[in-house]
Chain A
Amino acid sequence: MNVKKFFLILTLFALQSANAQLVSRETYLKEFEKRASFVTSIYDTAQSSGYYQAAVRYAHGKDIATADKMVIELLRDPRGDMFWMIPAIGTYLQGKDRMSPEARAAMRNAWKTYAPYRGDTENHWCMYHASLFLAAEQWPNLPGSEWYNGKSSEENLRDAKEYLIHWMNITTTIGQGEFDSPDYFPEYAMPMILLSQFAKDPEMKTRGAMMADYIFADFAVEHLEGQYIGGYSRIYQPAVYKPLLSGASAFAYLYFGTGEPTNSGWIVLPALSNYRLPEIIYSIALDRSKTYVHQERKRVRNVIRFGAEKNPPVYKYSYITKNYGIGSLQGGILQPIQQHTWGVRYTYGRPYTTIFGLHPYWSALEVGMFFPEEVKTLIADVVASKGTYNNPDKWTGGSPYERTFQHKNALIVLYDITPGTTTEHIDGFFPRNLEERIVEPSGWIACKAGDVYIGWYPLQEYEWKEESDASINTLNDIGRPQLERVKETGNWRLRSYKPQNGYVIEVRSKDEIGSFAQFQSALNTHTPTAKLQPGAVSLQYVTLSGDKMEFAFPEKRTLNGSAIDLSKTKLFEGPFINAEVGSEKMTMTYKNKKLVLDFKAVKISE
């Protein structure tokens, strides 16, 4: 080895180490304060009325009279259920020592007279009970006549604490239900951060911090520049194809310093809080120097009928590099309405940094599994708030006729759609800003997104459809912005109408395979063999890396001759985060650092 080469290697190593070690704690905290200050900066001068505008004024000790006026005005007619409870109690906790007696009285009165709906999902319950717990602590020893639900302070405190501990227990033993949701991450982070700062009960204060750490660690290990790597339990349009629009990305900006600067309201209360990420979590979040596989076990939301098991397991597989991530759930109905089964995310080409596919399925049976209303009218109920649910062109949702098999950066997706199903086609999303989208003679569609290359091998005939609808923000029938009806221009939809169907996805970066031409060549020498008969859909494929994958719909997966048993998947398994099913414990490791969240002992240890 000559001297020049030695120094080059040394320099590269130093650069990599710098990237991996990233920043000192002191620097991180300083940068965090800058971002927190930026996030809140527009709120303490904003004249529009809102809880966050008031909370920031109280926290900053600025223009308290305006904050009081806003609070009193807003509390004349509280609306929003748990989406009111969190900002209301957050504002109170920030302002109670500075607000006027009138504002304080208005807040107290609201918790006496306004009855929020408890909701019907995990995020609703989490926000509802965390807020109620904090409120009951603030106003102790009051009789039931002083609370909206007729329960005394002590009864509310006990009930809320019980639920929160139940949720933490189930999450740390068999997995989160509304897991990895780019749009619902804030609904868990906010209440846990508030508990960590304001709970008077030492156990709940610690639990709040631990659970915040838990969900941030989950995010840290599966994000790429602020984008959650799919699949997900829930995501809305347009965040499904513009990943940085999601609420989780705002948290990534505030806590990891990645993604795009934002003043999102979701991060106002966190920006005011004293909760700070443990060093190990942001170190994991910011280190993409090494490629890794990360696997998780989550759970299906409560199945209340039409199923044998209340919370069947969800298995997630992610492959993450510094340039891209590809992740997948095993397929099937794992969550109602907004499931995202698989996707590729990459760093190039904001805002359309993704390619994914789906079978746009809906049925009364699906929603009847999760909601108690009458099955025959449930779709109408659902569509009232999730406007795309029964739209054949939708970009979110799971399907019982879809299954996946992923190994590293190769993914097989198979479909065996029963005739008469609500839709008998499958769709693929290809963003408009791809540099290349070339159909190779072999059948592979080779795409280039900067230094990331994506190959898509369709198993059946298909057509390209341009997403050409005007991008207009419309209002729904009751005057709310109907974001889900927004369609983007110029993106491309691959549509195939064959019910026995599927595709193979390969993703590589320039670092991994060289030029785009080399990627194309590699694809052209690797084509799958498929059988596509009703009830007998299967595929054999040797990946660009030489692994032999065999997949028979729905659940027979074989890798290099060995059967894959998904049921052995741990809660978390990867180089950074590990947790056993049933353990109530998460272990984070990064270089020589270690952090253990032990929910049985309610203890954080290093």
Chain B
Amino acid sequence: MIEEYKKVRHRWNAAWSSLIPISVFVLVVMLPANLLSQESTVYASVLSTKLFVVGAANPETGVFYKKTTDDTVWQHTGPKNIRDFGLAVHAPSRGQLICIAAGNGVHKTTDGGKTWKTTTGWQVTEVLSAAIDKANPDFILCTTPYGVFRTMDGGATWAECNNGIKHVFASSVLIDHSDSNTLYCSTEDGVYRSGDQGNSWKRTGLSVDGVRVVVQHPKDPNTLFAGTDNYGIYMTRNGGRYWEKCAAGLDHQTFYAIAFDPNNPQVLYAGGYVTGVYKSIDGGQSWRRMNEGLTNLNIHSLAVDPTNSNRVYAGTLWSGVFCSLDGGASWRSAGLTGSQVWTITVQPF
């Protein structure tokens, strides 16, 4: 009897053992991420710390990351001294593919940060932002003071694509999440749109100087917001044909960062030069400042945790990262003290 029981027990265990990988696969791949856990990863690009001098013994710059459940301890990945303006994390690969937009060019990892390669040559310098096509990770764009560059082969070759852009200084670029032929980029003379993956560009209805950032509604691809240097925030609901200025509640005019709550796109956050953080809960119609606990009001990056809409991160110029756990009502330091944090993204893994 006992031997028989042992045999049955062994078969039972073996069956469960064989099921474990399948179940893990089902849990990880098949289920929505936010049902799995409340733990996401925050990535921050550190441009510099105070008193950065080329050639000096500067503190580390580059990409830092941490789990949202960690407090203020960040890990570093990639080159340590590159003046990192921006970064793009490829969500479908769960962070295996990351591109850094930095002074030395576009750095890329395909193994989650174990190894990195500078994919660009000397022509692509002072890279300000990068974007990776979710569906086709070989299609990557970056922006520089010398315009937009793209690769169609994962970074093996890059080409300038500024046809139609008047002033090529481009601060940000995005790939339409519903159609990767459509791109938007923010430049020194407005927001431009391309319908052919960057072969040509046409200026949208927004032609103000110094557009610093353009972001897209997570569900409605025709709704975009643009933050500008000196002219406030603009919004379009028709893919850029017509833009209207967001005025209600905004007392400032220079905005470097705008972020949607991916779970509720009626909620947006915006920040810029001495603005602190503004929040809108009506899709950008009206805004309210939410600065309790923010000790530096120069905001350059914002991101909402897709697994917890109340968890919001703000990257500052020279005071590192701040975190809110109550949808912006209050903030506390989340580390990287003293850093200029140009870009933040939170990924649900």
A contact set with B: CB distance below 8 Å: 79-84, 115-121, 124-125, 129, 144-145, 148-151, 159-160, 162-163, 166, 302, 304-306, 372-377, 381, 384-385, 476-478, 480
Residues of A contacting B47 in the complex (Cβ-Cβ under 8 angstroms)? 373
Q: Which of B79, B116, B167 contacts A305 (CB 8 A)?
A: B167
B128 at the A interface (CB under 8 A): yes
B126 at the A interface (CB under 8 A): yes
B122 at the A interface (CB under 8 A): yes
Residues of B contacting A129 in the complex (Cβ-Cβ under 8 angstroms)? 122
> Which interface residue of A121, A166, A372 has the most chain B CB atoms within 10 A?
A372
Residues of A contacting B104 in the complex (Cβ-Cβ under 8 angstroms)? 115, 117-118, 149
Q: Smallest CB-CB separation from B125: which chain A residue?
A: A118
The answer to whether B57 touches A115 (Cβ under 8 A) is no
Interface string of B58-97 (1 = CB under 8 A from A): 1000000000000000000001111101000000000000
B256 at the A interface (CB under 8 A): yes
The answer to whether A150 touches B82 (Cβ under 8 A) is no
The answer to whether A159 touches B121 (Cβ under 8 A) is yes
The answer to whether B256 touches A374 (Cβ under 8 A) is yes
A-B contact count (CB 8 A): 112
* Contacting residues of chain B (30-53) with chain A, CB-CB under 8 angstroms: 47-48, 50-53
Q: Which of A80, A304, A385 contacts B145 (CB 8 A)?
A: A304
Residue pairs across A and B with Cβ atoms less than 8 A apart, 22 shown, are: A81-B55, A115-B80, A115-B82, A115-B104, A119-B55, A121-B54, A145-B115, A149-B107, A149-B118, A151-B118, A159-B121, A304-B145, A306-B188, A372-B128, A372-B144, A372-B169, A374-B256, A374-B317, A384-B50, A384-B53, A476-B51, A480-B56
* Contacting residues of chain B (89-136) with chain A, CB-CB under 8 angstroms: 103-105, 107, 115-118, 121-122, 125-126, 128
A120-B57 contact, Cβ under 8 Å, with A81-B81, A150-B115, A377-B317: no
Instruction: Kindly provide the distance from the CB of B108 to the nearest chain A CB, expressed in whole angstroms.
Output: 8
The answer to whether B169 touches A381 (Cβ under 8 A) is no
The answer to whether B118 touches A150 (Cβ under 8 A) is yes
Q: Smallest CB-CB separation from A81: which chain B residue?
A: B55
Residues of A contacting B273 in the complex (Cβ-Cβ under 8 angstroms)? 374, 376-377
Residues of B contacting A119 in the complex (Cβ-Cβ under 8 angstroms)? 54-55, 103
A117-B103 contact, Cβ under 8 Å, with A305-B167, A480-B56: yes
Q: Smallest CB-CB separation from B229: which chain A residue?
A: A375
The answer to whether A144 touches B54 (Cβ under 8 A) is no
> In whole angstroms, what is the CA distance A118 to B169 when docked?
20
Residues of A contacting B188 in the complex (Cβ-Cβ under 8 angstroms)? 305-306
Q: Smallest CB-CB separation from A166: which chain B residue?
A: B122
Closest 4 pairs between A and B when the two form their complex, measured CB to CB: A150-B117, A304-B145, A115-B79, A83-B55
Residues of B contacting A148 in the complex (Cβ-Cβ under 8 angstroms)? 79
> In whole angstroms, what is the CA distance A160 to B123 when docked?
11
Q: Which of B53, B57, B115 contacts A385 (CB 8 A)?
A: B53
The answer to whether B79 touches A81 (Cβ under 8 A) is no
> Which interface residue of B55, B85, B103, B144 has the most chain A CB atoms within 10 A?
B55
> Which interface residue of B54, B80, B212 has the most chain A CB atoms within 10 A?
B54
Residues of B contacting A84 in the complex (Cβ-Cβ under 8 angstroms)? 55
Residues of B contacting A372 in the complex (Cβ-Cβ under 8 angstroms)? 85, 126, 128, 144-145, 169
